[in-house]
Structure 1
Amino acid sequence: MKIKKSFLPGIAVTLLVSVVAKYLAIYLPFIGAESLAMLMGILLGNTVLTQSKLNSGVKWSEKYPIEIGIALLGLTVTLKTIESLGINGILFIVLQMLLTIIVAIVLGKRVFKVSKKSSLLMAAGNAVCGSSAIAAVSPEIKANDDERRTAVATVSLVGIVLLIILPIVGPVVLGKQDLLLGALIGGTLQSVGQVVGTASLINQDVTTYATLFKMLRVILLSVVVISFARMAQGKSQKTAQPKKSVSQYIKVPWFILAFIIFILINSYVSLPTQLTHSAKELTSFSGVINLAGIGLNLKLKTIKDSGSRFLGYGLLISLLQVVGAISLIKLLF
């Protein structure tokens, strides 16, 4: 999308909040720049940064940089990521993601009575990679801005709870087994930053394993986006008169295609270390910008209207997600 002159004040403010969040994360690594950016954005967006001239730029910042970040994420992983975890590791992640998606959809429909789109966003955010997955799924299921922002805020806030609890609960339940602790953290926490930050509170080996498990979830992002798009289109497809071609039936966003292509390139071509490192940094920062923009746009009324219900929804999903992960780990490893 073209950047208009009127967007510049909002973009500048969002970038400033993002940079400050990255700096503060040096001293608060267990929280992470993403969560700090969102919390700062909510605070400032409801107090001193309420000017209407900022709106268009902030909205641009929360939607478009993350698409570039998702695409570049493909340069940070390879197909060897899957191979390194073994059959049991792959099966664990696939089952864990599937169970998380089912739990989120069933709870959303049966217990918390949220919209189908909201439950799909919560399923994607918890099953895959937090705000990045929600950003990828949102346009494909035609979720509105409030649904998207509420889902991101809920997933991010619950993630903060998990990053405090898992380093304590994990060793008690699973012992000092680095692979298993890495599976627990990498298979449940939402953002890559939170996974690395949480695992690093235990030790470096756990961080390595957790990152590998997390990367496998990220690799499966494209599968989730396409599947959810088809689920959302299902009802309208039944009533549609003309028969559509496959290319019309499944519209894959450009950044998901780029994500897949970059994974394949990184798997078979030896890329410069500096390139993959830069891609990782840009991906991370795009996530910070995304959450800063969401925080600045997320008004207290929106949080109040659906906050307690969604927070309970998110906490219950995460609780069952952790219980499911521990059960699968004990079954498979």
Structure 2
Amino acid sequence: MITKMQKNYLPILPGLGLSVIVAIIAKLLARIFPTIGGATIAIILGIILGNTYFKQSTLAEGTKFSESRLLEYSVVLLGLTVTVQTIGEVGWRGVLYVLCMMTIVISWTYWIGRKLGFSQKMTLMMAGGNAVCGSSAIGAIAPAIKADDQEKGQIITLVNLLGTVMMLGLPVIGINFFAGDYLAQSALMGGTLQSVGQVVAGASLIDGKVVQYAMLFKIIRILMLVVVVYLFGKIAAKNDATIEKNKEGKRKLPIPWYVAGFLVLCIVNSSIDLPSIFSTSAHFLSTWFETIALAAIGLRLDFRKFLKEGPQFLAFGAAVGVVQTAAALMLLSLLHL
């Protein structure tokens, strides 16, 4: 007899198992090609296999779990590998850089989106998804502005496409423009890339140290999600009579659990002299979770979906990506990060 727990977790196993196998193969190939690295191989191998041999719907639930949950666990475990002193290295310039980046991205995306004829709701979701944290931000913004599922799905697809392109392109820029400068490379990745997964993936293509620092920049952006959702809700409400004000005057906008978990473990690691086995084990597990998640991201990347969205969507994404990248390079130069 199948228990309730088995019923919930059995559908996950095929996709999770495939993601683990791809990750193991990637790790083995990384020994032969160390300059490429396991992270890069995992996502490239995942993309190739996911768009050729492994398109079965039975894999979807497991690869989704691997992409989201395992990556979240990886982020939490990173908290045991950094300290408050490490976060302090980002400094006021790092915080200012993130705030300026978010302001530029939101303003530009809103302006170009409206010029290209996209609805206000779609434009706001695109702005929030690129400025904060990809699909997670879109998921939080959509109900606040009463966007429908079709609009949300289209923008999520576009943001994921843009994020994937930038995830593969920005490491090349980071290595060539900021060779050996871990903080600048981390700021480029963590202050620009859309989702947590893309930040981890992009930073992994440069160096393991860049992953840690990039996540600090990313977490500053994620912490601003509450503010962005609140402001976007106000903007949409002015132009849409169907959006009613919350009678209690509150919206339930919690910080994502994995950000809270990262911060808690970081504080613990900073306050208590933990045995080295904690940081060593956390780094080992985090790296494996990350590699499995990257394999899953590759397996879930369906190029056919992106091609269906049409040239207008692609033009919107390209315009946002170019300005995002240019703004990051300009601000990194001005702020001397």
TM range (shorter): 0.7 to 0.9
Deviation of residue 217 (structure 1)? Answer: 0.4
CA distance in 2, matches of 1:26, 1:135: 33
Q: Which moved more, 1:214-223 or 1:224-233?
A: 224-233
Deviation of residue 12 (structure 1)? Answer: 0.8
2:19 corresponding residue in structure 1: 14
Return the letter of the residue paired with 1:277: T
Mark the CA change 1:27 to 1:250 in structure 2 (over 3 Å): closer, same or farther: same
Q: Report 1:1-333 matches (<5 A).
A: 3-26=8-31, 33-111=38-116, 113=118, 115=122, 116-124=124-132, 133-134=133-134, 136-142=136-142, 147-148=155-156, 150-170=158-178, 181-189=181-189, 190=193, 191-192=199-200, 194-195=202-203, 197-198=205-206, 214-231=214-231, 233-234=233-234, 235=236, 239-240=243-244, 243-244=247-248, 246=250, 248-306=251-309, 313=316, 315-333=318-336
CA distance in 1, matches of 2:326, 2:111: 17
Question: When you count helix as a share of all residues, which structure comes out higher?
Answer: 1
Stretches of structure 1 lacking an aligned partner (at least 5 in a row): 125-132, 172-177, 201-206
Mark the CA change 1:263 to 1:14 in structure 2 (over 3 Å): closer, same or farther: same
CA distance in 2, matches of 1:265, 1:104: 39
- Secondary structure of the 2:79 match is helix
CA distance in 2, matches of 1:150, 1:20: 30
Mark the CA change 1:89 to 1:298 in structure 2 (over 3 Å): closer, same or farther: closer
Return the letter of the residue paired with 1:289: I
Stretches of structure 2 lacking an aligned partner (at least 5 in a row): 143-148, 194-198
2:46–2:297 Cα contact (<8 Å) kept = yes
Identity of aligned residues (%): 25
Between the two proteins, the alignment pairs up a number of residues equal to: 308
Mark the CA change 1:215 to 1:122 in structure 2 (over 3 Å): closer, same or farther: closer
CA distance in 2, matches of 1:195, 1:301: 26
Please provide the CA RMSD for this pair: 3.8
1:175 corresponding residue in structure 2: none
- Secondary structure of the 1:283 match is helix
Give CA-to-partner distance per residue, 1:227-260, whole Å, 9 cap, x none: 34435554479833552364x4323333233233
Q: TM-score, normalised by structure 2?
A: 0.72
Return the letter of the residue paired with 1:303: F
CA distance in 2, matches of 1:51, 1:212: 34
Deviation of residue 13 (structure 1)? Answer: 1.2
CA distance in 1, matches of 2:38, 2:125: 27
CA distance in 1, matches of 2:297, 2:205: 22
Q: Which moved more, 1:225-234 or 1:57-66?
A: 225-234
Give CA-to-partner distance per residue, 1:133-176, whole Å, 9 cap, x none: 435435423585664455334313222222223333446xxxxx
CA distance in 1, matches of 2:213, 2:246: 43
CA distance in 1, matches of 2:115, 2:300: 29
Q: TM-score, normalised by structure 1?
A: 0.73
- Secondary structure of the 2:282 match is helix
Mark the CA change 1:321 to 1:135 in structure 2 (over 3 Å): closer, same or farther: closer
Deviation of residue 220 (structure 1)? Answer: 0.8
- Secondary structure of the 1:123 match is helix
